[in-house]
Structure 1
């Protein structure tokens, strides 16, 4: 059974692993910010030394030095960006696997993929934030103190004015957070809910259109989107107002400092060059704060994304230690299996037990909601058992490594899910293409000629909806995938539900060939025509085994006159 345990914060651990990247990026930021003083010092020296001395040589030397230092600053900025991107790629690559594993585990246990989609979206958004202006403004922020110290060297009034301006900017940033943080978080939550609802609607467009539900569904979605838009609009307006105030105040502060510099220059306390340099330095000192205010929404979003990812990644799937077992022969034993479906508290399987020898075929029948599909999912480990065991060749299925066992299992679910890629990719399960085995599986499934009739043949691209294929063709491609590479255990859930008479004959022929090759086959069906190939029959009722044994004996128990039986109890 897939298990989980609470782990330390993996996100923090991954960030710690790239600490060196951020350290070097911070050092490059320090060099870059130090060199940002170059234009100010150049202007100061030109005003106070070159103009007064009239020295052309000094001007040329200062200009050459300016060019060299500014080009160097460009190199430091490039290096900082490259380091941040490298750290970002490394963290995302590692976390992507963890997020995918946790999302898959959650989808298996709850039947809901919303959390997984949200987690992957959060990871992508954090990646974008980590190389954006928000992180850079944090690296530049400490240098505001350096610029203010330089202003104190010019004149104490300059330094004091800079501190007052910085404090006011910080107060504006805090007000921005207080006035917009809660509303922005609420708006983001409503937006996520609306997006989930919209995705669900897209998956059910046929029902919505067929039953004339479009207007009602649209009205419900409009309410969700309107609430989200309203909250976001209120928060955005407040943030925009405060951002405008912050920008206006910054311009005002620089202008007033210029006036203060003029006053001090008139009183011979500073030079005219210091007057202009002081205004420029104040602009540099306030720039990181101004940038943080401008990116405040990004900070709020990133904080929420970090917290959600942290909570999700604390629950990490892990497997019991496994040894590499020999390739299975196909004997199957189900022992007192109890299963509770994801999201439910009631068992759908209650003490199910049976055995199959390698190469035997079993038919599973029973009324609707008897637990037939649940049994198939439990045998494959898709749904974990609350109690009991499923053994393959005597070994607990959970002792097998899933990647090693996968090629020896074949599964055709009721709802055929084909993935974005070519038909060949889908048949070979996205493993390394083996044309001989792909064509062999397609021929056994009776779909080779149909595939060749397509414009691109086996290279025909299909998507999640498999729009290029009919329901019957999708089912046959799914069958070819299930029998690819002659797996030892094949489970088919209603494999003939979308097939015509010819398709059903091809299916029976394919299953006979797989059985002759030694595969153990389990077929869930309500049509008696396909039962001709099975050796044993299992009748499920209310999650329990009502009858199990040789096919003819079970059929005789179901009906005293098996020759007149045309249909077994139907399933959903």
Structure 2
């Protein structure tokens, strides 16, 4: 059963941490009181010990100070560990949801610019650092101010004035940082994406001598990002330097005013040093906040981005896990616009495509390049969302299934095939821990790749994808991806150019696989340029510039052949594939 009601998972996870934050706040209050130890100790030393000359009194006071500082260190450690655990809990609670939501958001590149996992990691690291603890000291600044007012109202007013100046500096620093933070993050994301894509296509880049050009382009992006970073840092650096200087000057001012008050016999000599320490404690949290404002601004930005992201990625209410579909497919007025389309300018990629298939049907989709075959494939499997129309499997649209549930019953072989970092066995199994060795081998045999895998040194345990690279050719990768698509014999299987890298033997194996899948009741759709890919289908759909021009039985559209594999039939299929 899916979630009973739509919810912002990030907001819920934060609410679950409220007891932890409350505990940290209480500990911070205790720490703030213990911070008065130094001031009170100085006051007692100057006013009691020096005037009485009692070593016993000094040792007694020092013993008390040692115990209090031990408690101070214990509570400070406890606060840091508690904040670190809160950050870890947030990552644990939201890591899987963030990963799934990010994948979901990539459909049609919707919200694709947000990286929730990176933002979660940033917030967790912030909570584990010293800055978060310093922020919890801010609410207790009035405690030190109150003590200063008790010592003398004039001293309290001076420090209040200093706190106001420091606070205004912090607000200005925050405004400057927020102004540039979003631009900096966007630039850094574009720079990282460009570098990752370049590395992913290293062979092409080196083969065509593009590395110097790409390095120059990346450096241009880097310089723009660094310029934004410097613009954001310049103002906060000036304000941080001003705040530090002002804080030192204020402490000297406190000593000067305190000396005047001692001369007028309004306070004791010990209160001068105590007041100086207290004024430092009042301004220290503000000063530290200004010095760490960039980290604070990044965390605030990440917090707002996560709130917005998870608000858009709320669970759909009321969805239940439906039984495995039989494969009955109904496509109605399927339409897709190009990215960036507006109400006045809408470039159509696919227009009003409608057809239906029964379980066991095989459909061959043919047409010229850019006719819309790959776009139709993505829409049929739910990788993209249509702008108009709908796709229904056994009468249910994709939005009627819990997220990820319908995917178990769909097999998809994209035109551009990549394998995920892991073993060949894990890739074929779709990383499903419940897939048995028998399931994996059966899928590999169906895709005619079992013997090839066994010839590899590590067999099904061979590492592919990621930093380990791949010991496989393009055709071998495509056949392994075909095995991944057909494992468990899904109800709907969509193959986009499945024989693009196959030889004659591979074509024959593909035809046999499609025949077996259809015999098992699977609905198979094949996007094809080469006629051999549609030899085992019974229906044909012809696309031309995103429009469906013909749909029906293959024998009626292409003409019934006298012999299944005669040369005229192959030539006729080839002509239709080229002409659309």
Shift of 1:438: 1.4
Distance 1:519 1:539 in 2: 21
In structure 2, relative to structure 1, the CA distance for the partners of 1:571 and 1:341 (3 Å cut) is: farther
SS in 2 for 1:567: helix
- TM-score (norm: length of structure 1): 0.87
In structure 2, relative to structure 1, the CA distance for the partners of 1:450 and 1:258 (3 Å cut) is: farther
Aligned: 1:454 with 2:453: no
Report what 1:537 is aligned to: 540
Distance 1:141 1:101 in 2: 37
SS in 1 for 2:392: strand
Corresponding pairs, count: 565
Q: 2:124 is matched with which residue: 124, 127, 137?
A: 127
Shift of 1:238: 3.5
Report what 1:470 is aligned to: 473
Residues 531-540 or 187-196, more deviating: 187-196
Q: 1:438 is matched with which residue: 437, 440, 443?
A: 440
Q: Any conservation in 2 of the 1:35–1:70 contact (CA below 8 Å)?
A: yes
Shift of 1:91: 3.9
**1:215-364 pair list within 5 angstroms:** 215-265=212-262, 268-319=265-316, 321-340=318-337, 342-344=339-341, 345-364=346-365
SS in 1 for 2:552: strand
Report what 1:139 is aligned to: 136
Distance 2:181 2:188 in 1: 10
Distance 2:317 2:189 in 1: 35
Distance 1:401 1:313 in 2: 17
Distance 1:366 1:314 in 2: 41
Residues 266-275 or 553-562, more deviating: 553-562
Q: How large is the Cα RMSD of the aligned pairs? A: 3.4
Distance 1:301 1:237 in 2: 16
Distance 2:347 2:11 in 1: 38
Distance 2:7 2:314 in 1: 13
Residues 392-435 of structure 1, C-alpha deviation per residue, up to 9 Å, x if partnerless? 33444543445433222211111113222222221111111422
Aligned: 1:525 with 2:528: yes
SS in 2 for 1:309: helix
SS in 1 for 2:65: helix
In structure 2, relative to structure 1, the CA distance for the partners of 1:9 and 1:318 (3 Å cut) is: closer
Q: 2:113 is matched with which residue: 108, 115, 119?
A: 115
Q: Structure 1: which 5+ residue stretches go unaligned?
A: none
Residues 184-203 of structure 1, C-alpha deviation per residue, up to 9 Å, x if partnerless? 55444444443444444445
Residues 270-279 or 473-482, more deviating: 270-279
Report what 1:73 is aligned to: 72
**1:376-387 pair list within 5 angstroms:** 376-387=377-388
Report what 1:150 is aligned to: 147
Distance 1:244 1:389 in 2: 60
Distance 1:177 1:355 in 2: 58
Shift of 1:127: 3.1
Report what 1:567 is aligned to: 574
- TM-score (norm: length of structure 2): 0.86
In structure 2, relative to structure 1, the CA distance for the partners of 1:70 and 1:528 (3 Å cut) is: same
Distance 1:453 1:54 in 2: 91
Shift of 1:137: 2.8
**1:51-62 pair list within 5 angstroms:** 51-62=50-61
Q: Any conservation in 1 of the 2:81–2:128 contact (CA below 8 Å)?
A: no
Q: Structure 2: which 5+ residue stretches go unaligned?
A: none
Distance 1:253 1:138 in 2: 22
Distance 1:231 1:384 in 2: 36
Aligned: 1:515 with 2:522: no
Residues 479-537 of structure 1, C-alpha deviation per residue, up to 9 Å, x if partnerless? 11111122222211111111233333333333333333332222221222233322222
Residues 89-98 or 545-554, more deviating: 89-98
SS in 1 for 2:535: helix
Shift of 1:437: 1.2
SS in 1 for 2:542: strand
Residues 329-338 or 142-151, more deviating: 329-338
Report what 1:106 is aligned to: 105
Shift of 1:179: 5.3
Distance 1:472 1:32 in 2: 66
